């Protein structure tokens, strides 16, 4: 088993942000990031202090969304810098990990 | 682009635990954590070995829940210690990351 | 509060892969991993470049799935090696973290 040092990036949005598809297309077409996964949370609060919540009875359309992708660290840090310059995203964080081939 | 060292915390609950809203309020009001995101898993097993599962036909009300938040490391570690003292949570883990401003 | 160094592993699948239950059983029964959590994403793309997407109108049955588990680093790395040998998984990554007891 061979392991490779990678960097994981996570972008925080909410559904009301409406940039999800553009960011996914951008990562795929412009940054040539090999894969990305999008998760929807069920509740969040952010700088506004406003709660974004989903229940069975009260379906919200402003739920938290995270886009995650990983690749070689240099490639990921470059993509993050371009994302910051081209999109209005709430937060971007990253951390180091290993991929197991 | 400026980067800042942060710490990410993740709390593991199940829906049957019924402390989600109290913990979210506590992080927001008492610990002054700037943001938190809640995810619901579709299946898990824990120390009991009992499976918590969701299917279209058999909707479970004891699905796994994670609460994640990040901030400056000292602030996060303090919040974790207070959470351990005030709530009955299954697990709390944390790891180091960078925030990209 | 006592902290313990752990390793978090994340396995990437899609729903069409149909190995989720076998992998969960394997982690529980063979590798004696104490807990695991399964998340379903709402969209992804991978090496194929093919998009896997879920909308209210167009319910997909090939959504991204992640299986996460954590334990002592040696135990997790051994489990990852066995998983690579026994299952056809898209990607496995891992990173270091702390558990707060």
What is the ipTM score, two decimals? 0.88
Phi-psi region of C49 (alpha: psi -120 to 50; beta: other; left: phi over 0): left
- Counts of helices then strands in chain C (DSSP H, E): 2, 6
State pLDDT tens for residues A12-28.
Answer: 998 888 899 999 999 99
For residues C76 and C34, what is the distance between their CA atoms, to the nearest angstrom?
11
By the CB < 8 Å criterion, does B78 face chain C? no
Q: Do C28 and B49 touch (CB under 8 A)?
A: yes
- Closest-CA distance of chain B to residue C70, Å: 9
Q: Do A39 and C39 touch (CB under 8 A)?
A: yes
State the pLDDT at residue A52.
65
State pLDDT tens for residues C15-41.
Answer: 888 899 999 999 999 999 989 999 999
CA dihedral C33, A98, A71, B8 (to 10 degrees): 70
State the pLDDT at residue B57.
46
State the pLDDT at residue A60.
55
For residues B74 and B3, what is the distance between their CA atoms, to the nearest angstrom?
17
Burial string for C26-39 (b: 16+ CB within 10 Å, else e) reads bbbeebebbbbbbb
Q: Which chain B residues touch C38 with a CB distance below 8 Å? A: 41-44, 64
Please name every residue paired with B10 in a beta bridge, in sequence order, or none if there are none: B68, B93
State pLDDT tens for residues C56-90.
Answer: 444 556 799 999 999 999 999 999 999 999 998 87
Q: Touching C: which chains, 3+ CB pairs < 8 A?
A: A, B
Backbone angles phi, psi at A45, to 5 degrees: -135, 155
- Closest-CA distance of chain A to residue C37, Å: 14
Please name every residue paired with C96 in a beta bridge, in sequence order, or none if there are none: C7
Nearest to B38 by CA among A60, C10, A94: A60
How many CB atoms lie under 10 A from the CB of residue A15?
Answer: 16
What percent of chain A is predicted at pLDDT more than 70?
Answer: 85
- Closest-CA distance of chain A to residue C77, Å: 9
- Counts of helices then strands in chain A (DSSP H, E): 2, 6
For residue C55, pLDDT over 90 is answered with no
Query: Residue B73 — pLDDT band, cuts 50, 70, 90?
Result: very high
State the pLDDT at residue A5.
98
CB contacts under 8 A, C 44-73 vs B, are 65, 70
Of A21-35, A81-95, B53-67, C87-101, least confident by mean pLDDT is: B53-67
For residues C40 and A40, what is the distance between their CA atoms, to the nearest angstrom?
9
The residue whose two tokens read 């990983």 is A70
DSSP C22: H
Nearest to A93 by CA among B96, B18, B41, C3: B96
Structure tokens at C45: 């793309």
The model carries a pTM of 0.91
A to C CB pairs, distance under 8 Å:
57
Q: Which of B34, B38, B97 sits opposite A95 (nearest CB)?
A: B97
Where helices occur in chain B by DSSP H, the ranges are 20-29, 73-86
């Amino acid at each position: 088993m061979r392991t490779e040092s990678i960097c994981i990036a996570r972008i925080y949005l909410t559904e009301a942000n409406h940039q999800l598809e553009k960011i996914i297309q951008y990562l795929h077409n412009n940054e040539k990031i090999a894969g990305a996964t999008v998760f929807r949370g069920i509740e969040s609060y952010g700088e506004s202090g406003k709660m974004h919540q989903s229940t069975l009875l009260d379906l919200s359309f402003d739920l938290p969304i995270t886009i995650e992708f990983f690749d070689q660290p240099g490639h990921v840090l470059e993509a993050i810098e371009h994302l910051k310059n081209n999109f209005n995203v709430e937060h971007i964080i990253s951390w180091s990990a290993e991929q197991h081939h």
